[in-house]
Chain A
Amino acid sequence: MTSHQFIVASPPTDAISTLKFSPDPNSARIVVSSWDKNVYLYDLRDENGKVGEGKLLQKFEHRAPVLDVCFGENENEIYTAGLDWDVRKIDLNTSEQTVLSSHEAGVRHVVYSREHNIVISASWDSTLHIHQPDAGANPDSLPIIVPLPSKPFSISATATKLIVAMASRALHIYDLKALALLTAQADGTAPGGNRVEVEPWQRRESSLKFMTRAVACMPDDAGYASSSIEGRVAVEWFDPSPESQARKYAFKCHRQTAEDGVDVVFPVNTLAFHPVFGTFASGGGDGVVALWDGISKRRIRQYQKYQTSVSSVAFSASGQHLAIAVSPGFEDGHDEVLGGTVKIYVRELGETEAKAKGPK
């Protein structure tokens, strides 16, 4: 494609569910979870420290497809969630896997909050599990279970808040501090009795009419973007004041006009905010990745279409790279995944490539 885009070597053999960059700004490591039941760890740097096609460092096999992965406190530990109902912690140095907790259905998402040192997992059994990272090692430390009104489809955390987007267009915003306190208190209580009804800080209805596909929080903790299966992205602010709420908006994207004039609408599978500029990237079922300036409501750029659906995008902690996971058959689930169609692209971003241009 372009000279500053690499295809990561030895990609997963089946569709990619999630791709994350290391939290360390000086690192170019990525973890990738895949439907082929493995979690892959890549280092994009070669021996000379130059970012290129990278190499596969490690591969961690699970019992079932892995749906989400995130880095923990540092880049040596990751948390995974998958169809085997378990939330795991993997120590990358020792390859030791510990099960933090088990849900009663597939676990769709897992996030780690560095500020509060808790791990939150969201499962299709309509619960959140909130763990202390040492839960596996410490048998006394049990996760608290927060029931949700519907199945969660996407979660995202900022320094202070956790957003859970659910079925029926419901959206809860939790105060992470409260959740962390509850988890700490739950430590000493009797096992099994740790189901806690937590009142969210805010309950909202999605401003999109269709199923929420992804949510992502702004790095400055001011608001979030959400996307739906119907080619639309909404940008909203946490601040409940009418002035802030009046700023919220939604726009259409990831659509194509077919030859017969029909507007083909693709789901917006993934959203990721740039850690420095506060702009965000969206990846859709049409294979397009676009960068948006959520504040000035502008598209910054749109990259050349990829062959198949974009299942996950992630910015590196330094903001210099954008990783794009491309996998086929992600929407309909019927296509057999052909070899060579699952790819991870890494774009080296120019200094201002993802920067908001400001009003013209």
Chain B
Amino acid sequence: MGKKRRGPSLEELLDRPWCYYCERDFDDLKILISHQKAKHFKCDNCNRRLNTAGGLSVHLSQVHKEQLTQVHNALPNRMGVDIEIFGMEGIPADVLKAHQQRVASQFQQAELDRQHATGNPPTGASSGGQPAKKPKLEPVSDLKKRLAEHKARRAEALAGGSSGDVTPSSAAPSTSTPGGYAPSPQVTATPQYSYPQPYGGPPAGVTPHFSQTGSPVYSSYSPVGGQQVPGASPYTPSGYPSPFPAALPAQPPVSYGAPPFLQQQPPPSDNRFTGLPAASNLPQRPAFAVPSVNAHEMQQMHMGHVPSPTPATSGYSNASSQATENVSAPVDNQIPGAANDGAAKTEDITKPKKEKTKPAVRLVYNDDTLSPEEKMAQLPRYAYVPDKSTQTALSELPGNAIVGAIQDSDTVIDPAH
């Protein structure tokens, strides 16, 4: 019963080498060093890649008679050349600490998001916490008692030859479907689910809705109680809301939001995916998001179309009620697109891509009839109206005109008096 890995742990993340200048992290120190050489310590003049900022500085001053004032491509506050960085060496302690804090908070945030999105327990808790909890749940006496009962049942089941499964015979009639998903990745849930069943009374109906069976069972046999409620609670409220029938309990509904989780899921979900077309309600299969796209791309590739490089948006899974329709839509879009270049092709498929590919070029100045100078010349502050008769500036003329008008009015008023 291998535990499914759920992405890197915090320690692994903190251990990753990262670049002081741009805060990027890398798989390997070697890659980090080559990144720094290529991005931050490269000489613009002769493309030579130096090892450190100091090395580049010396190179620039000796070879090109220039002075290095800042490190290229660095974050604004990391441009200094006085700090000697090589790989992970030389990073000031405070910066290192800040980075670690940042990674940790990002990790926790991602964890929270994922938890929120999937309803699964946090990575650390699921791997370390759950087994740790189990002994607390059951006093030894209980355990022994259950073991005995279990053995008895097992013997009974073996004697009966009904099913070689661990599933108790009482549950056997109800679990024709659950039996299918028992070896699913939700290993944390299944054992607890199957063990307590004899105690928790009959499962709720022929379709064992996980939330219904699960929670009563927990509450019934847990003496310590307080601790596993938080662990179990994510299952109950968000994990399996009503629209999802029992056919698919193991698949969390909101899997879009948690790509790291999904990346670990593919093998089981693919199995389920291939197994499921027989199931009645396709549209509500939540697990569709990522694996389904892969499947579509596969299909498209089989049909001779290059899959779009960017992942499809949720529009896919929403529209996926009929698999055939879903496949044909992108194909139709791609055929006219094929006449154009690659950018135009992808542009047709979804809106967000449109923004990325077509106007991927933004002109700073875009006027094909008026040059920038002409535009500038139209500004009021540059306005000039040539006056051929007088070489004097314009400002004098209005002054004269106003003076003349006042005099006129004076002369008109005077005779009236």
Contact = CB atoms under 8 A, between A and B. Distances in A.
Contacts of A264: 362, 364
Given A3-B65, A63-B384, A83-B384, A263 B365 contact: no
Nearest to B61: A3
Contacts of B402: none
Residue of A4, A35, A302, A333 with most partner-chain B CB within 10 A = A333
A261 B67 contact: no
Interface string B357-377: 001111111111101111111
A210 B366 CA distance: 9
Contacts of B368: 167, 210-211, 229
A8 B378 CA distance: 29
B365 A331 contact: yes
B45 interface: yes
A153 interface: yes
B66 interface: yes
Interface size class of B (residues with CB under 8 A): 35 or more
A35 B363 contact: no
B364 A267 contact: yes
Main secondary structure of the interface of A (DSSP, over half): loop
Given A2-B66, A4-B66, A304-B44, A333 B364 contact: no
Contact of B393 (A63, A230, A262): A63
A230 B44 contact: no
B64 to A, nearest CB: 7
Interface string A284-313: 011000000000000001111000000000
B69 A1 contact: yes
Contact of B362 (A262, A269, A331): A262
B364 A3 contact: no
B199 interface: no
A67 B67 CA distance: 34
A286 B362 CA distance: 13
Contacts of A353: 45, 64
A350 B374 CA distance: 37
Interface in A301-341: 301-304, 330-333
B379 to A, nearest CB: 6
Interface in A216-241: 229-230
Interface string B380-417: 00101010100001000000000000000000000000
A229 B377 contact: no
Nearest to B375: A333
Residue of A35, A213, A286, A303 with most partner-chain B CB within 10 A = A35
A332 B382 CA distance: 14
Contact of A262 (B360, B378, B388): B360
A330 B374 CA distance: 11
Contacts of B361: 262-263, 265
Contact of B363 (A17, A124, A265): A265
Nearest to A124: B374
B97 interface: no
Given A106-B377, A229-B363, A333 B384 contact: no
Interface string A348-359: 001001000000
Interface string A90-124: 00000000000010001010000000000000001
Contacts of B366: 229
A64 interface: yes
B356 interface: yes
A15 interface: yes
B346 to A, nearest CB: 13
A280 interface: no
Interface in B40-88: 44-45, 60-61, 64-67, 69-70
A273 interface: no
A1 B388 CA distance: 47
A218 B376 CA distance: 29
Contacts of B376: 15, 35, 65, 330, 333
Interface residues of A, number: 47
Interface in A114-151: 124, 151
B360 A261 contact: yes
A85 interface: yes
Contacts of A285: 364-365
Nearest to A261: B356
A4 B386 contact: no
A281 to B, nearest CB: 14
Contacts of B67: 2-3
Contacts of B374: 106, 124, 151
Interface in B167-185: none
B399 to A, nearest CB: 17
A266 B372 CA distance: 12
A96 B241 CA distance: 89
A265 B363 CA distance: 5
Interface string B335-364: 000000000000000000000100111111
Interface string A18-34: 00000000000000000
Given A63-B393, A83-B377, A330-B376, A211 B386 contact: no
Contacts of A65: 376-377, 382, 384
B369 A332 contact: no
A213 B373 CA distance: 10
Contacts of B362: 258, 262-265
A332 B365 contact: yes
Contacts of A83: 377, 382, 384
Contacts of B61: 3
Interface of A: 1-4, 15, 17, 35, 63-65, 67, 83-85, 102, 106, 108, 124, 151, 153, 167, 210-211, 213, 229-230, 258, 261-267, 269, 285-286, 301-304, 330-333, 350, 353
Given A65-B382, A167-B371, 9 more contacts: A4-B65, A35-B382, A83-B377, A102-B386, A264-B362, A286-B364, A303-B44, A333-B375, A350-B64
